[in-house]
Amino acid sequence: MNLSFFIARRMARPTPENRPGVMERIAVGSVALGVAVMILSLAVVLGFKREVARKMEGFAAHVAVTDIRGVDALDSQPVHRNARLEELIRTTDGFVDMAPYAVKGGIVRTEEAVGEVILKGVEADYDWSLFEEWLVGGTLPRIGDSIRTKDILLSRFLADRLQLGVGERVEMLFVDGGERPRRDRFKIAGIYESGMEEMDRTMVITDIRNVQRLSGWREDEISGYEIRTRSLDEAEAFARTLGRTLLYDEGDGTENLAVESVTERYANIFDWLKAHDVNAAVILVIMLVVAFFNMTSALLILVLERTRMIGLLKALGMRNGPLRGIFLWRALFVTLRGLCWGNLIGVGLCVLQLTTHWVKLDSEGYLLSEVPISLGWGWWLALNAGFIAAIIALLVLPTAIVSRIKPEETIRYE
């Protein structure tokens, strides 16, 4: 049996004569608080990154191929659909799926309000999975029928602002340079709510043929292709590879094309997410420092309370290394108690938010309407293991006080 562990376990056993002191309780509390805050911080930061990225993928996929003259423009220049271009996209490593789309900027107006919108046209094979999840009223628009419909999918934000409901008709104006505005009326087939006001305030979905007609385009002219890759992390590499392929391709229909990842198109959103990584790192460091100082104080008090025991053990022949091990084991026991309480509180609050959604956010400032939570075994285990390792490693130095205790001074009057 490890003698240091045996003595530390006996010291930690609560008895009427050996009750946890105030400093030990403070150390347990600081560890619990630190771990709980760390878990909450990481769960929220990872939740923000996951939810925002997931919703951005729903609105704009991972990569977009557009005409270079229409980058960042509401009224883009048309891209001609052709088999050569689509084959180059499909054969690029990381490709999963693609869908043609067309967009046109317009103004929607009612007697109550006016708002700017982006009318996005899609085809029948468009991936509606996320919009089905976000649907809060009506149905998805009929798209791809032999007879073109004027159904649109409107956000709840716009519906409330314009005081419109499912089944009502709304007029939109589309302005082309130097010409009189074009008017068209659409029927609201359904209302969605993604919880991401940045996109909800403008995005309207309809049949791609409606946008092509309003833009004066032919059937083979589109704004571009939205492409899904294996994951968002691969989007930038895919965009670079496809961009080089199109740049050096000599075939017809692949010139003057730009390839952008969603992180480039919406750099302001993803830069905002990266700033949260810095905030999380600062919180982790602060909590670790607070826990370390409290643990150091508790450990020093434990050592001072046991100076006579240390002197006696030295007189019996125990070396400084095993003596320091006793107090490192004691620190580990305190840390584990704090970890248990911290995990119980931190994970409990995360589960409470996941099930009740009780903490809300201002979607205009935070992009999402509620605090997102992402729990995972990987980072949770790494956090606990890293916290234990860091605390014990840092406490090696304070235990050096054991080597300065002299047995002839501590047991002189025993």
Same domain, yes or no, for 45 and 155?
no
- List of residues 6+ apart from 378 with CB closer than 8 A: none
CA 358 – CA 124 distance, rounded (Å): 37
Same domain, yes or no, for 210 and 104?
yes
Q: What is the count of structural domains for the chain? A: 2
321 or 129, greater pLDDT: 129
Same domain, yes or no, for 275 and 358?
yes
In the block, which residue shows the tokens 């309000």? Answer: 113
Same domain, yes or no, for 274 and 362?
yes
> What tens digit of pLDDT does each residue of 142-186 get?
988 778 889 999 999 999 888 889 999 998 888 776 567 788 899
Least confident of 76-90, 158-172, 198-212, 305-319: 305-319
75 domain residue, yes or no:
no
Same domain, yes or no, for 15 and 124?
no
Same domain, yes or no, for 102 and 42?
no
Report residue 98's pLDDT band, with 50, 70 and 90 as the boundaries: very high
Report residue 408's pLDDT band, with 50, 70 and 90 as the boundaries: low
Tokens of residue 89, six digits: 């996209």
Residue 96 pLDDT more than 90? yes
Domain with 45, as residue range(s), is: 3-55+269-410
227 or 323, greater pLDDT: 227
Report residue 409's pLDDT band, with 50, 70 and 90 as the boundaries: low
311 domain residue, yes or no:
yes
338 domain residue, yes or no:
yes
Same domain, yes or no, for 309 and 403?
yes
Same domain, yes or no, for 288 and 399?
yes
Residue 19 pLDDT more than 60? no
**Residue 258 φ then ψ, to 5°:** -115, 140
Domain C-terminal end among 201, 219, 237: 219
Mean per-residue pLDDT, 366-386:
86
175 domain residue, yes or no:
yes
Tokens of residue 177, six digits: 């340079």
| Percent of the chain residues past pLDDT 90, beyond the cut | 28
CA 162 – CA 377 distance, rounded (Å): 45
193 domain residue, yes or no:
yes
Which amino acid would we find at residue 278?
V
372 domain residue, yes or no:
yes
Per-residue confidence (pLDDT) for residue 183, from 0 to 100? 85
What is the 3-state secondary structure of 206-269?
Answer: EEHHHHHHHHCCCCCEECEEEEEECCHHHHHHHHHHHHHHHHHCCCCCCCCEEEEEHHHHCHHH
Same domain, yes or no, for 401 and 289?
yes
- DSSP state letters, 89-143: HHTSTTEEEEEEEEEEEEEEE-SS-EEEEEEEEE-TT---HHHHHHEEEE-PPP-
**Between the CA of residue 25 and those of 19, 70, 281, 365, what are the distances in Å?**
10, 64, 27, 40
Q: Looking at residue 200, which CATH number applies to its domain?
A: 2.40.40
Helix, strand, coil content of the chain in percent (nearest 5): 55, 20, 25
Same domain, yes or no, for 274 and 404?
yes
Least confident of 54-63, 286-295, 401-410: 401-410
CA 287 to chain centre: 21
Pairing of β 63-67 and β 79-80: unpaired
Mean per-residue pLDDT, 24-42:
85
Same domain, yes or no, for 14 and 128?
no
Is pTM, for the whole model, over 0.85?
no
Same domain, yes or no, for 125 and 180?
yes
**Cα-based angle 278, 281, 282 (whole degrees, multiple of 5):** 85
Least confident of 8-22, 94-108, 197-211: 8-22
